[in-house]
Amino acid sequence: MTAKRIIARLDIKGDRLIKGIHLEGWRFLGHPNDYCRKYYHEGIDEVLYVDAVASLYGRDHIKEIIKQTTADAFVPITAGGGIKSVEDAYEILRCGADKVAVNTAAVKKPELISEIANRFGAQCMVISIQAKKNTAGKYMVCYDSAREYTDTEVSVWAKEAVERGAGEILLTSVDKEGMMRGMELELIELVTSAVNVPVIACGGFAQPSDFVEAVNAGADAVAIARALHYEKVQIADIRNQAIKNQIPVRNV
C-alpha cells in the first residue's frame, strides 16, 4: 500500500517561523527547527519550508534551517521561496533538501522547470501553484505570494508544468489559505484529474476530516500550517481519522 502524506508547512521569514492569512499579514511564531523537531516526533511524513523573503534577502537563513533539519527529522524535506535558477536549486539541495518548490520564477520563465528537472530529476522539481477563483468562477494562477495575477487557468498551467518536467504539484488555494475553514475540494479535483503526478493540497486545513475530504477529492498529500502551529490538531488524530475512513497512512 502507498500512504497518503501529512506534510507540515513552515513559512519562514529570516530565521523565524511565521504564519499569515491569504499569504499576507505575517506573525512570528518561533524557531522553525523547534517546530520541525516536534512534528517529526509526532510522526509527520514530510516537511515543507517556504521562504517568504528569499527573493529579497538571499537564502542564508533557510540554508541553515535545512541543514539543522537533516539532524532532527529523518523524513523528506522540500524547500521553496525565491528559487530563480538551477544554481539556487542546487544550493538548497546541497543543504539536505530532497526537493525544491518553484513558483514565481517558473511562471515568469517556464523553461526553468525543465532545467531543474533535467539536472536533478523530475522528482526534485515541485511546481508550486497558487490558485485563486476569479469572478467568473475559474481558478487562476497567481504568484509573488498571490500579489500578482496571471490570465492562465490553473489546470492549463498544471498540465504545462508537468509536460515540462515537474514531478509533483504543491497546490495552494489562496482563498482558503490561513482561514482554517476547510479545503478547496473543487480545485483539488480539477487539478488531480488534469495531471498524473502527485498533488499536495494546501490551504484551509482545520480538522482531521479535511484530510479525508482532500484525499477523497484526489490529493496524494495535504500540507498543514496554521492548524499544526497553533496546536488545533494532533497528527495522530489525522491518522486515526484516515484509518477510520480506509485511507492508507504510514504506521509510525
The residue (of 67 and 138) whose beta carbon lies closer to other proteins is: 67
| Whole-angstrom distance, CA of residue 219 vs CA of residue 1 | 16
**C-beta of residue 208 within 8 angstroms of C-beta of residue 241:** yes
Place of cell 499579514: 25
Q: Is 70 in the site for other proteins (CB under 8 A)?
A: yes
| Whole-angstrom distance, CA of residue 108 vs CA of residue 219 | 26
In angstroms, what is the minimal distance from the CB of 145 to other proteins?
26
| Whole-angstrom distance, CA of residue 176 vs CA of residue 228 | 16
Residue 126: CB atoms within 10 Å: 27
Q: Is 49 in the site for other proteins (CB under 8 A)?
A: no
Selected from 56, 74, 136, 137, the binder of other proteins by CB under 8 A is 74
For the four alpha carbons of 212, 44, 95 and 203, in that order, the dihedral sign comes to positive
In angstroms, what is the minimal distance from the CB of 148 to other proteins?
29
In angstroms, what is the minimal distance from the CB of 179 to other proteins?
28
In angstroms, what is the minimal distance from the CB of 147 to other proteins?
30
Q: Is 5 in the site for other proteins (CB under 8 A)?
A: yes
Q: Is 161 in the site for other proteins (CB under 8 A)?
A: no
The residue (of 50 and 97) whose beta carbon lies closer to other proteins is: 97
Selected from 27, 28, 30, 71, the binder of other proteins by CB under 8 A is 71
In the 3-class helix/strand/coil scheme, how is 188-246 assigned residue by residue?
Answer: HHHHHHHCCCCEEEECCCCCHHHHHHHHHCCCCEEEECHHHHCCCCCHHHHHHHHHHCC
Three-point CA angle 25, 30, 32, nearest 5°? 100
The residue (of 69 and 172) whose beta carbon lies closer to other proteins is: 69
In angstroms, what is the minimal distance from the CB of 81 to other proteins?
19
Restricting to residues 79-118, which ones interact with other proteins according to CB under 8 A? 93-99
The residue (of 71 and 243) whose beta carbon lies closer to other proteins is: 71
**197 residue type, one letter:** V
| Whole-angstrom distance, CA of residue 104 vs CA of residue 179 | 23
| Whole-angstrom distance, CA of residue 170 vs CA of residue 81 | 12
Selected from 120, 143, 157, 205, the binder of other proteins by CB under 8 A is 120
3 state DSSP class of 180: coil
Residue window 197-236: x/- pattern of binding to other proteins, with contact defined by CB under 8 A:
xx---------------------x----------------
List residues near other proteins by CB under 8 A.
1-3, 5, 40, 43, 45, 67, 70-71, 74-76, 93-99, 119-124, 167-168, 196-198, 220, 250-252
